[in-house]
Amino acid sequence: MEKAIAKLREADAISLDAIAEMNIRKLEGLIRSAGYYRQKARRLKGIAVQIRKEFGTIERLMGLAGPRLRKVLLSYNGIGDETADSIMLYAAGRRTFVIDAYTKRIMGRVDKRLAGADYLFLQRYFTNNTKASVLLYKDYHAQLVELAKRNCRVTPICKGCPLLTMCDYGNEARIHPYE
């Protein structure tokens, strides 16, 4: 995704207007590295056109109250819970915790009772057990992503994991933190 965003920046096409007005083939070429680029280009352009029609600017959309903003974002084709909450947290600076595949994997291993829990349940779990703060939520999410990339992979590397002593998976596998 970072490559696609860099390409959009290079083409000076990172704005709502630029995406709404861009030729679909050009947009596909710019975001090709993101995977499913044809589908994403159509959705991205459609969302940009719709936001411009309904709100005029991205700033007006982002100015909506939290629950209303989330509802509007979820109404757009291609935006689900994770994307809506990512936009709310990172773009609009709203206190919402993003649950992604990494978070689901880590939580299902740390506490096996959470394995298979749905998005909203896990989100409530985090928000009920942490101090509500945009900076904390961003940092926490970033650390979970790093942990998943480094240790809690699909095939986990438990040795050296900072959560090992509290992890159901690691304890059941009888992995010792200091060996």
pLDDT in tens, 52-76: 999 999 999 999 999 999 999 999 9
Q: Does residue 175 register a pLDDT over 80?
A: no
| Cβ–Cβ < 8 Å for 76, 49 | no
Cβ proximity of 118 and 109 under 8 Å = no
The conformation of residue 57, written as its DSSP 8-state character, comes to S
Q: Evaluate whether 92 touches 62 at the Cβ level (below 8 Å).
A: yes
pLDDT digits (tens, 9 = 90+) for 13-57: 999 999 999 999 999 999 999 989 999 999 999 999 999 999 999
Q: Does residue 129 register a pLDDT over 70?
A: yes
Helical (H) or strand (E) element with 174: none
DSSP state of 176: -
pLDDT of residue 2: 82
DSSP classification of residue 12 = T
Q: Could you count the other beta carbons within 10 Å of the beta carbon of residue 122?
A: 18
Instruction: Answer whether residue 179 shows pLDDT above 80.
Output: no
Residue 177's pLDDT is what? 58
Where do the domains of the chain lie, and which CATH numbers do they carry?
1-54 (1.10.340.30), 63-95 (no CATH), 101-172 (1.10.1670.10)
Distance, in Å, from the CA atom of 97 to the CA atom of 78, rounded to the nearest integer, reads 19
pTM: 0.89
Q: By the 8 A CB rule, do 105 and 151 touch? A: no
Residue corresponding to tokens 């090992």: 164
